Amino acid sequence: MDLTSGVEELKGVGPKKAEILKRAGIKTLRDFFYNLPREYESFQMATTIAAMRPGKVVVKGKIDSLSTRRARRRNLSITEGVVRDNTGAVKVVWFNQAYRAKQFDPTKEYYFTGNYELKNNRYQLSSPAAALVTDIDPEAGINPVYKAHGTLKSYDFKKLMNGARDKFSAIPDLLPTVRAGVRKDALFRVHFPNSIADATRAREYLAYEELFALILAAKLNRRENDKLKALPAKFDAEKIRAFVAKLPFRLTNAQRLAAWEIFQDMERDIPMNRLLQGDVGSGKTMVAALAAYEAVLSGLQVALIAPTAILANQHFEGLAALLEQFDIKVALLTGATKKKPELKRRILDGEVDVVIGTHALLTDDTEFKRLGLVVIDEQHRFGVGQRQKLALKSPAGLAPHLLAMTATPIPRSLQLTVFGDLDVSVLNELPAGRQPIETSILTEVDTKERLYPKIAATMTLPPDAKGLAKGSRAKGQQIYWICKAIDDSTVSEATSVKTRTRKLQQAFPRAKVEFLHGKMKPAEKDDIMERFARGEIDILVSTTVVEVGVDVPTATFMVIENADSYGLAQLHQLRGRVGRGASKSYCVLLTSGDTKPSMRLREIAKSSDGFHLAEIDLKIRGPGEIYGALQHGALDLRIASLSDTKLIHRAQADVELFLQTGKNVLEYKELAAGISKYQQLTTLN
């Protein structure tokens, strides 16, 4: 069987259904077979209606009295019915599932699985899944539940899977390291399990296959990198000591170790391929400065690329002040740079040692004489193609040393898999003088009484009796206020950037309040951030566009509205916008409603350790965007969990054994196809 064949080959899939499947990302037979159930229902423990107790229940019965009505609240439909068995009856309710009213045959029995709970002084079965009793194997009693896509519900996927039963036997193997037929058996069992344990074992094997392919891709990337040649940079201990002695602060031990690891890499004629990860404010730029200095001492040029002009400007100002005192020429190249042709001529002639810029560095007419080191800030913001384009600007036949920096702490399990081809340096210390950010959780209803007075005090604006700032404007600390939306919406209760700005202007009429969002023109965004950095704006209301931004030491207060709608990593990144100076800083996580704060909010409130939070976030949400998924395709692990270190280590060991055999991966068609996307995704050069 060719798993790349289209879903049109499946029984029961015509042009219309194929189009729906394709919109859901199910384009090929491989996509179809790997569209695994999201959960399993076990009907062996089904109860009677009379014996039901609050919580998740499974009950068998017939349903009638079905009807759908519109709720007063917009965009909400309520479908209700009554499930009966020979012991009693129970009300059943679905929200925004109007199709349920026509789904059931009142003469047939169904299994209903859902939460039995008290609502409006009456017990009901809420939003249950349903399965026809005659569709369930009476011995197994296991029902796979698939995620709905468009008009295709779980039942439709079960029907399609049943129609494809005869195709499982022809599914080709993936791994040459296991016995024949394991893959097809696992895929069959995951869709047609005899028990929950049966399905769990099948999923574990499929997860192992995924991890094997991912780790193998990373190892092959490393082998390819080791075949390349680079210009070595000789370590000059005396000059490095003199450089460090002139710094206005003392390096942390973590910075010293990371710099030493980089110096050792750059002395080789194989290109360095190192990831420098460190929490917000841990001093990554200073380590990059040491690497740049070492490269220039050996006659190499350095290119540092940042995702935004304002970040590039920040790097330029900091690095120029450090490096130019050692007669190193530093230049800035962004879209706004004047006299670009003249600057590019100087770069090509080798008159500029270090070039700091944005995507302007990637243009074809930006050429270097002797590019030997590339530094990528916030590497996940650049796609593979962009990183490779910069790497190709080295002299013919050579690759540059590459140092990628990220402020997103990477869990150990990801270092073993996605970044398995990289050497990783970790900055796990903050420079002296930095204070931890005090983080608290507050409900939105307490904003005026408890939050506004703190904001007034932060800006040194004296509050009136109501806690609102009516006094004269005085120079104080600054505030970030993060909102989810740009404009108000009929489908979301989140306060928009524009509405929040108006409310804060009314509350603090003497303060300068402005807003910022991603749909603004780049020049407009840069102007606002520069004015905020100069202290001309007291409160900056923004979307997450400020997640990675300039250092503003006088910004000491961060408010994140609708905090529960963000992931842990993003909350930690946003919080890192404050606490950049020596002053005490604060972060308030605003929640709506009166529900108990989520686990991730409680975790971030009690911890400022980005590495700990990254591990927690991985368990809660998965790998996220650490790899730059927005730029070059999602990691798309369908089954494996990157927090399963036991399975990762097993796959790692088997990959090593496979590589030791010296076999060519291309001999195994399915495996080669499986690793190709991971190779593109995980490589840095």
Are 520 and 381 part of one and the same domain? no
Segments forming the whole domain that contains residue 154: 1-41+144-171
pLDDT score at 628: 36
**431: pLDDT confidence band, cut at 50, 70 and 90?**
confident
Do 370 and 352 contact (CB within 8 A), yes or no? no
Are 412 and 314 part of one and the same domain? yes
How far apart, in whole angstroms, are the C-alpha atoms of residue 362 and residue 414?
29
Q: Is residue 445 part of a domain?
A: yes
Are 79 and 121 part of one and the same domain? yes
CATH number of the domain within which 348 lies: 3.40.50.300
**For 64-100, how does the pLDDT look when each residue is reduced to its tens digit (9 = 90+)?**
999 998 876 656 789 999 999 999 999 999 988 888 9
**For 214-247, how does the pLDDT look when each residue is reduced to its tens digit (9 = 90+)?**
888 888 888 888 888 999 999 999 999 999 998 8
- Among 155, 196, 162, 200, which residue's Cα sits nearest to residue 45? 196
Number of alpha carbons in the 13 Å side-chain half-sphere of residue 218: 23
**547: pLDDT confidence band, cut at 50, 70 and 90?**
low
**For 27-61, how does the pLDDT look when each residue is reduced to its tens digit (9 = 90+)?**
999 999 999 998 888 787 789 999 999 988 999 99
How far apart, in whole angstroms, are the C-alpha atoms of residue 564 and residue 595?
11
Give the residue from 607, 640, 655 where a domain finishes. 607
Are 255 and 347 part of one and the same domain? yes
pLDDT winner (highest mean) among 43-52, 250-259, 538-547: 250-259
Lowest mean pLDDT, pick from 380-389, 520-529, 628-637: 628-637
Q: Scanning the structure block, which residue is given the tokens 């927005």?
A: 630
Q: Phi-psi category of 67—alpha, beta or left, where left has phi over 0 and alpha has psi -120 to 50?
A: beta
Are 130 and 161 part of one and the same domain? no
Are 336 and 366 part of one and the same domain? yes
Number of alpha carbons in the 13 Å side-chain half-sphere of residue 554: 16
Q: Is residue 402 part of a domain?
A: yes
Q: Is residue 571 part of a domain?
A: yes
Are 21 and 49 part of one and the same domain? no
DSSP per-residue string spanning 50-86 = TT--SEEEEEEEEEEEEEEEE-SSTT-EEEEEEEEET
Are 248 and 383 part of one and the same domain? yes
**For 441-456, how does the pLDDT look when each residue is reduced to its tens digit (9 = 90+)?**
998 888 888 899 999 8
pLDDT score at 633: 35
Mean pLDDT of 101-113: 92
DSSP per-residue string spanning 528-569 = HHHHHHTT--SEEEE-GGGSS----TTEEEEEETTGGGS-HH
pLDDT score at 73: 60
Are 243 and 299 part of one and the same domain? yes
User: Which helix or strand (DSSP H or E) is residue 305 part of?
Assistant: strand 301-305
**For 632-672, how does the pLDDT look when each residue is reduced to its tens digit (9 = 90+)?**
334 556 787 766 778 888 888 888 888 888 778 878 888 88
CATH number of the domain within which 98 lies: 2.40.50.140
How far apart, in whole angstroms, are the C-alpha atoms of residue 190 and residue 193?
6
Asked whether residue 421 carries a pLDDT value surpassing 80, the answer given is no
* Alpha-carbon 216 to chain mean position: 23
Give the residue from 378, 395, 427 where a domain finishes. 427
What is the total count of domains within the chain? Answer: 4
**For 126-174, how does the pLDDT look when each residue is reduced to its tens digit (9 = 90+)?**
999 888 888 777 666 688 889 888 888 888 898 899 999 999 999 998 8
Q: Is residue 319 part of a domain?
A: yes
Are 27 and 81 part of one and the same domain? no
Number of alpha carbons in the 13 Å side-chain half-sphere of residue 143: 24
Max CA distance (Å), the chain: 91
Are 593 and 487 part of one and the same domain? yes
Are 351 and 246 part of one and the same domain? yes
Q: Is residue 318 part of a domain?
A: yes
Query: CA 660 → CA 213, 225, 581, distances in Å?
Result: 16, 18, 51
